[in-house]
Amino acid sequence: MFADIPGVKELMNTALNAAKMAGASYADVRCSRQRQNFVFTREQQIQQVVDTDTVGIGVRALVDGTWGFAATRVLTNDGAAAAAREAVAIAKASRIARARPVEWLPSPVVADGKWKGAYVQDPFDVPVEQKADLLLKANAAAMTTKNVKFVSSGFFFVKDERNYANTDGSFIQQDTVRSWPTMQITAVSTDFSDFQTRSNMIQPMARGWEYVLASDLVGNAPKWGEEAAAKLTAKPVDVGRYDLVLDPANLWLTIHESIGHPTELDRAMGYEANYAGTSFIAPPEKMLGTLKYGPSIMNVQGDRTQEGGLSTIGWDDDGVKPDEFLIVKNGMFNDYQTTREQAPWLRWWYDKNGRPVRSHGCSYAQGWDNVQFQRMPNVSLLPGEQDHSLNDLVAATDRGILIQGDGSFSIDQQRYNAQFGGQTFHEIKGGKIAGVLKDVAYQIRTPDFWNSMDMIGGKSSYVLGGSFFDGKGQPAQVNAVSHGSPPARFKNVNVINTGRKA
């Protein structure tokens, strides 16, 4: 189950020793293998089957309070040592550009850490024939629906085997699998005047082939086809303000964009100013314990522990065991996402609250060839105390729209102003579903939106959604992250109509 890189421990030790010899005060090394398997189909055709495999070693060195990083695919002791020396040389060269030294927070040594993800059946053991067969059957099932003219579908599988060691003496081996079945169903009107799609039905998860089977693509495809076709004759939404009932399959993305990203400490401190952006939750000293993010029923947790969560892991890429922490507590902003380098920046806040200064374990690198930095843990809206269901929320709503599935999304670089679409839209009148709508998108200002939340579902309505490809950093790195939530209701939200003819 663990990486079959020969002599991996020796390679990593060689790199750490070379870094120390060259002058590093601290170094860590990741020697990892990532495999990906993609199968893409359309209608009754296989478009492509792709298997990728990459193995290499990346060394990060701290010299005189300045970082350097180097990575190579040359997996010999000489190659590892050369990368370590290059990382040190880059740190030394970059020293002229630093103002303040990095404060590197100590963390407990993990002498022999081993961790495996939640998957049962490794998708890399499943023959491609079986994968293709399942997709083609699902495509055929979708095509049985009237007006459905095109179907594309696919599987994304990733297997990460991560080995980590640092000069503190930690040595950690971890192994995880991520799976994402996808479908896009397109219905075209008979006179070619309109086409509508249904996609993003199944959430990506850190689970294996068993999750794919449980998703029952073939059984669900006709229903999804009908949802695409129904939009051809759906009523275009009237613009205006509505109470929105958002299903977890829609809300996860809104949580991701309007809570997940602005509570990244590096963004708040300006470290992403040139790319992903900064945050409206800044500076920390004016926000922590002061910003009312939402109503008192709102609690948002960061963690890397939920089973099947895409960000779930035993230890992060700083060698830290992640903890569960409340980003929003009873509606108040309570904490940021942090790494070992960042946690000391909030020492004043942790001291004030009698909490230890510790990293929340949010360090992550996409692969061996990228330097690690702060990435999102699973960020989830916790369910309410009363066990409301989605139906209870609809029944309690007089004039509203139920939105399911994630669609178009866009948010500004400080995470104030956002616009979200969805997959299916149902009008709610007098507590009942009154019909299908189309061309719906909602526009929000983040704090107003969350403060308008007045009803949330309970524990049994909690569902994990997630993003397989979330980008940040330069060079840009992708991570995968899950967001759990119950359904929730938001009062008086601005809804626009996105339909317009060319």
Partner 1 sequence: MREHGSANGALLTREQAQAIVEKAVKWSKADAVDVQLNTYTQGNIRFADNQVSTAGATTDAQLGIQSAFGPKHAVVTTNDLSDEAIKRAVEQSERLARLAPDDPESMPQLGAQQYAPVSSYFDSSAALTADDRAKAALIALEMARQAGDVKAAGYLVNTAGTLAIGNSTGMFAYHRSTNVNYTLTARTADGTGSGWAAADHADWAQIDARGVAETAIAKARLSQKPVALEPGRYTVILEPQAVGDLVQLIANYADARSADEGRSPFVKQGGGNKVGEKIVDERVTIFSDPSDPQLLGRPWDFEGMPLDRQVWIEKGVLKQLIYSRFWAKKQNKTATGGPSTFKMAGGTQSVEDLIKGTTRGILVTRLWYLREVDPRTILYTGLTRDGTFLVENGKITKSLRNFRFNESPLFLLNNIEALGRAERLAGTEQGGNVVMPSIKARDFNFTSLSEAV
- Please report, as residue ranges, which positions from 190 to 229 form the binding site for partner 1 (by CB under 8 A): 191-195
Beta partners for residue 193, in sequence order: none
- Total binding residues toward partner 1, as defined by CB under 8 A: 95
- In this complex, which beta carbon is closest to partner 1, that of residue 37 or of residue 380? 37
Q: Provide, rounded to whole angstroms, the least separation between the CB of residue 75 and partner 1.
A: 5
Site string for partner 1, 163-192 (x = CB under 8 A): -----------------------x-x--xx
Q: Name which position in 16, 29, 31, 66 contacts partner 1 (CB under 8 A).
A: 66
Task: Return the residue matching tokens 């949580």.
Answer: 255
Nearest to 165 by CA among 210, 109, 95: 109
Peptide bond into 283 cis (omega under 30): yes
Dmax (CA) for the chain in angstroms is: 73
Three-state DSSP state, 38? strand
- In this complex, which beta carbon is closest to partner 1, that of residue 91 or of residue 402? 91
Q: Provide, rounded to whole angstroms, the least separation between the CB of residue 195 and partner 1.
A: 5
Alpha-carbon distance of 348 to 353, in angstroms, equals: 9
Alpha-carbon distance of 280 to 263, in angstroms, equals: 9
Q: Name which position in 1, 112, 430, 501 contacts partner 1 (CB under 8 A).
A: 501
By 3-state DSSP, what share of the chain in percent is helix, strand and coil, each rounded to 5? Answer: 25, 35, 40
- In this complex, which beta carbon is closest to partner 1, that of residue 1 or of residue 501? 501
Taking CB under 8 A as the binding criterion, the range among 91-99, 209-217, 392-400, 479-487 that sits at the site for partner 1 is: 91-99
Contacts of 96 (CB under 8 A, 6+ apart): none
- In this complex, which beta carbon is closest to partner 1, that of residue 297 or of residue 441? 441
Strands 378-381 and 300-303, by their bridges, are antiparallel
Residue 231: both structure tokens together: 């939009």
Determine which helix (DSSP H) or strand (DSSP E) holds 199, and give its type and residue range: strand 195-199
Site string for partner 1, 381-420 (x = CB under 8 A): ---------------------------xxxxxxxxxx-x-
Residue 334: both structure tokens together: 């309570």
Three-state DSSP state, 285? helix
Taking CB under 8 A as the binding criterion, the range among 63-71, 290-298, 374-382, 479-487 that sits at the site for partner 1 is: 63-71
- In this complex, which beta carbon is closest to partner 1, that of residue 47 or of residue 492? 47
Site string for partner 1, 426-455 (x = CB under 8 A): -------------x-x-x-x----------
**Interacting positions 263-292 with partner 1 (CB under 8 A):** 269-275, 277-278, 280, 282
- In this complex, which beta carbon is closest to partner 1, that of residue 1 or of residue 96? 96
With beta carbons less than 8 A apart as the criterion, state whether 461 and 491 touch.
no
Taking CA atoms, 436 is separated from 138, 151, 195, 491, in Å, by 24, 22, 16, 20
Residues belonging to the chain: 502
- In this complex, which beta carbon is closest to partner 1, that of residue 320 or of residue 411? 411
Alpha-carbon distance of 218 to 162, in angstroms, equals: 34
By the rule CB under 8 A, 4 interacts with partner 1: no
By the rule CB under 8 A, 73 interacts with partner 1: yes
- In this complex, which beta carbon is closest to partner 1, that of residue 1 or of residue 99? 99
Taking CB under 8 A as the binding criterion, the range among 81-89, 332-340, 390-398, 423-431 that sits at the site for partner 1 is: 81-89
Alpha-carbon distance of 327 to 337, in angstroms, equals: 8
- In this complex, which beta carbon is closest to partner 1, that of residue 278 or of residue 312? 278
Q: Provide, rounded to whole angstroms, the least separation between the CB of residue 355 and partner 1.
A: 25
Alpha-carbon distance of 217 to 212, in angstroms, equals: 8
Neighbouring CB atoms inside 10 A of 281's CB total 26
Peptide bond into 295 cis (omega under 30): no
Three-state DSSP state, 128? helix
Site string for partner 1, 340-379 (x = CB under 8 A): -----------------------------xxx-x------
Q: Provide, rounded to whole angstroms, the least separation between the CB of residue 187 and partner 1.
A: 10
By the rule CB under 8 A, 241 interacts with partner 1: no
Alpha-carbon distance of 265 to 251, in angstroms, equals: 23
- In this complex, which beta carbon is closest to partner 1, that of residue 33 or of residue 207? 33
**Interacting positions 105-164 with partner 1 (CB under 8 A):** 127-129, 132-133, 136, 149-150
Q: Provide, rounded to whole angstroms, the least separation between the CB of residue 115 and partner 1.
A: 25
